[in-house]
Amino acid sequence: MRFRVWPADRLRSVDPRLADAALALGVTAAAAVAGRQYHPAGWPPFDTTAYVLTACVALPLAARRSAPVFALVASCLGYACYLAAGYQPSLNFWAPAVALYGVAARRPPRTAAACAALCAAVVFGSGLAAPEIGLTITVVQALGVPAVVWMFGNGARVLDERNGQLAALTARLRREQEWRERLAVSEEQRRIARELHDVVAHHMAVINVQAGMAGYVFPSAPEQARAALGTISETSQEALRELRRILTLLRSAADIEDGEAGRAPYAPIPGLAGLREVAERVRAAGVAVDLRTDGAPRALPPGVELCAYRVVQEALTNVIKHARHAAVVVLVSYRPHELLVTITDDGAGDADDRPDPANVARGPGHGLIGMRERAKLYGGTVDAGPRTEGGFRVRLTLPVPAGPSPGSRNRPPA
């Protein structure tokens, strides 16, 4: 013989009300069949009245989930009427106990205790209706059956409460995870926006200046115009390489999510060693740049070097935009526990075009905001503002380890 086992998810999908109705009908049918087949001596036969009273005892079980107290009270009243009519008590004994389980599993302990007392009373009455079982067994039965049923029902109630708490905790953790994922995506978008701003703003500023100069001097100084066009070519190639690096990082991240990592190699992250090339491009745009180093140069973490590189790049871009004829000094100071980068210009140019640090949050540009956000990521600070002796100064301070970092692949500028 082969038995069919229903899947657990299919069993869980059954409507509880249908299950309770089936239970009530099953208990009623079982008691009716037993009463028809079982005729102990001394008890009246199972007639129509007995069938009706049996239905009154068992059918309230259909409401044991939706209205458990009502189901218990109705079942106990029906059983009391059944016993008062003089029928055999053992045939409908278990219906009140099943109803008590529903109360203990779904109602507070006080309510369950009162219902247990009612159930104990009708069980005790059933024992008195059968004198042959004795008073001792009657008392034990009246106390033991409700106590055992209440214990199992209360355990189910506690387990259900804990499951509800776990479900609420799971939902809260899921919401927090989704919030953290959105926050991570937002931070990544801001990081990419900063990278694109630094790359595009710097290189396009140099290209714009060189293109304007080439067009101006082309009739009178073709060699100088040709040099400017060469600078434009080199700067545009550098910009393309930087953009390609960013796009490679994005594509590699997408490949990792799709399980296809390793298709495109990572380009080197710009660091302090690249400041020479930045200074050369800015010099080609007509800005005098003096790159200096103070202290003993040492290798630093790649993120710290990238932050310093971008801040210098952005500061020089602002000089090209607002003070093209200024002389700039870039000082990279290696201190025991911090990296100090200072970009200072002498103020030659149009002072009215300078960004106001006090109003930078309301202005159209994002250069100084991006500098401060970058520095904040690495626990550093950026101070920017006009100097009392004239000109403008940007100072970046970053905490760094005292010893050399083996993870750095860039050498500091000499």
CATH number at residue 388: 3.30.565.10
Q: Which residues of the chain have pLDDT under 50?
A: 1, 3, 11, 256, 260-262, 264, 351-365, 405-412, 414
Q: Is 58 helix (H, G, I), strand (E, B) or coil?
A: helix
Q: Are residues 212 and 298 in the same domain?
A: yes
Q: Is residue 325 assigned to a domain?
A: yes
Boundary of a domain, candidates 133, 168, 198: 133
pLDDT at 393: 93
Q: Is residue 118 assigned to a domain?
A: yes
Cα–Cα distance measured from residue 213 to residue 232, given in angstroms and rounded to the nearest whole number = 11
pLDDT at 398: 93
Q: Are residues 111 and 14 in the same domain?
A: yes
Domain range for 316: 190-399
Q: Is residue 138 assigned to a domain?
A: no
Q: Are residues 231 and 112 in the same domain?
A: no
Q: Is residue 45 assigned to a domain?
A: yes
pLDDT at 5: 52
Residues with Cβ < 8 Å from 141, sequence gap 6 or more? 123, 124, 127, 133
The residue behind tokens 């939706």 is: 66
Of 347, 343, 215, 204, the closest CA to residue 281 belongs to 204
Q: Are residues 277 and 376 in the same domain?
A: yes
pLDDT at 403: 59
Q: Are residues 118 and 194 in the same domain?
A: no
Q: Is residue 147 assigned to a domain?
A: no
Per DSSP (E only), the strands in 54-161 are none
Boundary of a domain, candidates 96, 111, 133: 133
Q: Are residues 241 and 372 in the same domain?
A: yes
Cα–Cα distance measured from residue 414 to residue 348, given in angstroms and rounded to the nearest whole number = 27
Q: Are residues 129 and 202 in the same domain?
A: no
Q: Is residue 175 assigned to a domain?
A: no
What DSSP state is assigned to residue 63?
G
Q: Are residues 226 and 87 in the same domain?
A: no
Q: Are residues 384 and 236 in the same domain?
A: yes
pLDDT at 1: 47
Cα–Cα distance measured from residue 192 to residue 182, given in angstroms and rounded to the nearest whole number = 15
pLDDT at 199: 64
Q: Are residues 120 and 230 in the same domain?
A: no
Q: Is residue 146 assigned to a domain?
A: no
What is the number of alpha carbons within 13 Å of residue 198 lying toward its C-beta?
A: 26
- What's the structural domain count of the chain? 2
pLDDT at 306: 85
Per the structure block, which two tokens stand in for 77? 């009243």
Is residue 323 within 8 Å of 347, Cβ to Cβ? yes
Cα–Cα distance measured from residue 117 to residue 152, given in angstroms and rounded to the nearest whole number = 16
Residues with Cβ < 8 Å from 275, sequence gap 6 or more? 291, 309, 312, 330, 332, 413
Boundary of a domain, candidates 133, 157, 182: 133
Q: Are residues 196 and 49 in the same domain?
A: no
Q: Is residue 32 assigned to a domain?
A: yes
Q: Are residues 115 and 242 in the same domain?
A: no
